[in-house]
A and B are shown apart, each in its own frame.
Chain A
Amino acid sequence: QSALTQPPSASGSPGQSVTISCTGTSWYHVSWYQQHPGKAPKLMIYDVSNRPSGVSDRFSGSKSGNTASLTISGLQAEDEADYYCTSYGGSNSVAFGGGTKLTVL
């Protein structure tokens, strides 16, 4: 699968909601990862809309057609990071989005 398409940047003020899109997700297993500068990625959403234990319920995911979305509600300063979507179709079929830099204004 070709690389997935994400907007390069997104922003919002504290308390607001922001949605990041990811186009080109042919497979069901869509995940979202948060990466702070100099840190490893962290799983935030898997299988389109499931949250791992310990991830805030302010993070939610959805999918319509071949576009997946990550929504962060009640924005907080700590949410400022890069976000990557991944579509997983097997060990030889993994596609990453180009990443979206989220700025909390």
Chain B
Amino acid sequence: EVQLVESGGTLVQPGGSLRLSCVGSGFSLSNHAMHWVRQAPGKGLEYVSAVSADGGSTYYANSVEGRFTISRDNSKNTLWLQMGSLRPEDMGVYYCARVNSNKYDYWGQGTLVTVSS
């Protein structure tokens, strides 16, 4: 059974840093591009970042470019999102999602990031 489990979300002060993790099981992460998608409280889904299957290419939404870094270790079936210079508007549930033939076929349960002083 394919599963994605995120962790690392917590309360952090504005300007702070946080690293989110996403561990995959039931499949080999190395075969898939992986994305982070977030959802602010009461709002819709928003693309955050993407990494190619081999980790060689990374992409970011304009809103997080220069502040967030996506990475992966396929040997550990793990994806990360290093978040820096956090702002209140970065608050929300962060999902990792598996890309399969141009669609998100599996999502994690999400991890909540709260940015507040």
Contacts from A to B (Cβ < 8 Å): 29, 31, 33, 35, 39-43, 46-47, 52, 82, 84, 86, 88, 91-92, 94-99
Q: How far is the CA of A84 from the CA of B45 in the complex (A)?
A: 8
| 19 further contact pairs, Cβ within 8 A, besides A86-B45, A91-B57 | A31-B103, A31-B104, A35-B45, A40-B108, A40-B109, A41-B107, A42-B107, A43-B103, A46-B101, A46-B102, A82-B44, A91-B33, A91-B35, A91-B59, A94-B47, A96-B44, A96-B47, A97-B44, A99-B44
- With contacts A84-B44, A92-B59, A94-B47 taken as known, whether A47 is within 8 angstroms of B103 at the C-beta atoms is yes
Q: How far is the CA of A23 from the CA of B95 in the complex (A)?
A: 25
Which residues of B, 5-63, contact A by the 8 Å Cβ criterion?
33, 35, 37, 44-47, 50-52, 57, 59
Q: Can you pick out 22 interface pairs between chain A and chain B where the beta carbons lie within 8 Å of each other?
A: A31-B103, A40-B95, A40-B109, A40-B110, A41-B104, A41-B107, A47-B103, A84-B44, A84-B45, A86-B45, A88-B102, A91-B33, A91-B52, A94-B35, A94-B47, A96-B37, A96-B44, A96-B45, A96-B47, A98-B44, A99-B44, A99-B45
Evaluate contact between A52 and B50: CB separation under 8 angstroms: no
Contacts from B to A (Cβ < 8 Å): 33, 35, 37, 44-47, 50-52, 57, 59, 95, 99, 101-105, 107-110
